[in-house]
């Protein structure tokens, strides 16, 4: 079942949290709401879950109205499951009892089957405090999915788990969600997490969606330099039209890219697409760090501006370097 948001706006007093949000989380796919703290992503999830009342706009499931400014069913009356950041398991109940909590009595025996599906077979008699953080999140996922919700909402579900377990947990979670055909909306502030788990990503800034696309589309065709930097591991450099190229804090860069109209614009450049050439009048090396087969170099311009390059060539920290992007690697965006 798809989950659709139509022209959602929301405010906390005089503070506008959401502005005209419209998008659809497709049936059976994992959609991530990605953005920094305060961008409105958790507010959007709360509206879908029934934790907040819709002030403007409407929310639909499978094309049927779920909530709007006139109707707001409570969370327990909505066909959605919710997984919180800390799992929110009942501490006085066993893991099996937690999973069976939302099931009709005749279906309570299904709890053990769900434990097996999330990799917790044989742990049903334990209590939440007897499990690791990752195991607790698996149990919380099983509890949310056991009743068979049409939509699953997940609010930073892996944030409290250490990074090594987090990678394994979210990949296991993606496989399970895709196998069950669950329509999922997941909130995260981590671009790497969104890329690792999502089929589609809604990038949010200041209460608005700035781009809604697949991970591949966000990487290949970002809507702005900021989005490109978020997903491509690139950096944003300010530029202006110069004689024979683009003037940057790091020198004049020759390029075949046509700059947009306007006095200034943003350039998106990847660290591994920058070439370093020894130059006595070039940039100073501030840091040089070996990373596997390559070297990460932080260079500083005369005005203090910094840029990072990655290279497999030897780098002398005492040398100065001129830096420029390889042909065809530069992207240019109008300044927003």
Regarding predicted confidence, which is higher, 289 or 157?
289
Does 275 have pLDDT greater than 90? yes
Q: What pTM was computed for the model?
A: 0.83
Residue pLDDT, tens place only, 185-206: 999 999 989 999 999 999 999 9
CA dist., res. 245 & res. 254, Å (int): 4
Phi, psi of 81 (to 5 degrees): -110, 155
pLDDT above 90 covers a percentage of the chain that reads 50
Q: What percent of the chain has pLDDT over 70?
A: 97
Report the 10 Å Cβ neighbour count for 113: 12
Residues whose CB falls within 8 Å of the CB of residue 77, separated by 6 or more in sequence, listed in order = 50
Measured between alpha carbons, how far is 288 from 296 in angstroms, rounded to an integer?
6
Single out the residue of 24, 3, 9 nearest to residue 78, CA to CA: 3
Q: Answer yes or no: is pLDDT of 306 > 90.
A: yes
Residue 296 reports pLDDT greater than 80:
yes
The residue ranges of DSSP E strands in the chain, in sequence order, are 3-12, 15-25, 30-34, 56-61, 64-68, 80-83, 151-155, 183-188, 200-205, 208-213, 234-242, 245-248, 251-253, 265-270, 274-291, 294-300, 306-311, 320-325, 331-334
Instruction: Identify the band that residue 182 occupies on the pLDDT scale cut at 50, 70 and 90.
Output: confident
pLDDT in tens, 129-181: 888 888 888 888 888 888 888 899 998 888 777 787 788 888 888 888 888 88
b/e 46-72 (16+ beta carbons within 10 angstroms → b): bbbbbebebebbbbbbeeeebbbeeeb
Residue 269 Cα distances to 227, 254, 307, angstroms: 12, 13, 10
Backbone dihedral angles phi then psi of residue 208, each to the nearest 5 degrees: -130, 155
Residues 322, 326, 329, 332: is their CA dihedral positive or negative? positive
pLDDT tier at 260 (50, 70, 90 boundaries)? low
Using the predicted structure, report yes or no on whether residue 307 has a pLDDT greater than 90: yes
**E strands present in 73-128:** 80-83
* pLDDT top residue among 29 and 148: 29
pLDDT at 336: 64
For 253, the token pair is: 């860069």
Q: Is there a contact between 82 and 144 (Cβ–Cβ < 8 Å)? A: yes
* Distance in angstroms between the alpha carbons of the first and the last residue of the chain: 36
Confidence of residue 112 (pLDDT cuts 50, 70, 90): confident
Q: DSSP per residue over 159-227, as a string?
A: TTS-HHHHHHHHHHHHHHHHHHT-EEEEEES-HHHHHHH-SEEEEEETTEEEEEE-HHHHHHS-SSHHH
CATH architecture of 3-229: 3-Layer(aba) Sandwich (3.40)
Per the listing, tokens 């959602």 go with 8
Of residues 310 and 233, more confidently modeled: 310
CA-to-CA dists, residue 198 to 55, 71, 172, angstroms: 28, 30, 13
Cα–Cα distance, 167 to 189 (Å, whole number): 15
Domain ranges for the chain, please list them: 3-229, 233-334
Higher pLDDT, 87 or 80: 80
């Amino acid at each position: 079942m798809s989950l659709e948001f139509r022209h959602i706006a929301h405010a906390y007093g005089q503070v506008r949290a959401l502005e005209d949000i419209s998008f659809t989380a497709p049936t059976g796919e994992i959609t991530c709401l990605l953005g920094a703290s305060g961008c409105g992503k958790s507010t959007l999830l709360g509206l879908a879950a029934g934790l907040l009342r819709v002030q403007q706009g409407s929310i639909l499931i499978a094309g049927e109205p779920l909530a709007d400014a006139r109707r707001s069913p409570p969370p327990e009356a909505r066909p959605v499951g919710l997984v919180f950041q800390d799992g929110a398991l009942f501490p006085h109940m066993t893991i099996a009892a937690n999973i069976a909590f939302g099931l009709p009595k005749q279906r309570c025996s299904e709890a053990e089957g769900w434990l097996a599906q999330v990799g917790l077979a044989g742990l049903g008699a334990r209590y939440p405090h007897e499990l690791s953080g990752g195991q607790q999140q698996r149990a919380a996922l099983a509890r949310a999915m056991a009743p068979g919700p049409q939509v699953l909402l997940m609010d930073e579900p892996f944030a409290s788990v250490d990074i090594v377990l987090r990678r394994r947990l979210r990949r296991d979670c993606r496989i399970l969600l895709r196998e069950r055909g669950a329509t999922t909306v997941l909130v995260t502030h981590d671009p790497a997490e969104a890329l690792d788990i999502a089929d589609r990503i809604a990038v949010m800034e200041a209460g608005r969606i700035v781009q809604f696309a697949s991970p591949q589309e966000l990487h290949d065709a970002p809507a702005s330099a900021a989005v490109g930097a978020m997903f491509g591991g690139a950096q944003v450099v300010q530029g202006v039209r110069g004689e024979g190229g683009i003037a940057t804090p790091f020198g004049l860069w020759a390029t075949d890219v046509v700059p947009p109209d306007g006095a200034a614009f943003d350039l998106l450049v990847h660290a591994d697409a920058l070439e370093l050439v020894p130059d006595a009048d070039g940039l100073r090396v501030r840091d040089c760090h070996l990373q596997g087969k390559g070297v990460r170099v932080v260079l500083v311009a005369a005005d203090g501006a910094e840029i990072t390059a990655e290279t497999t060539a030897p780098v002398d920290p005492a040398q100065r370097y001129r830096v420029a992007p390889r042909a065809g690697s530069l992207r240019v965006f109008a300044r927003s």
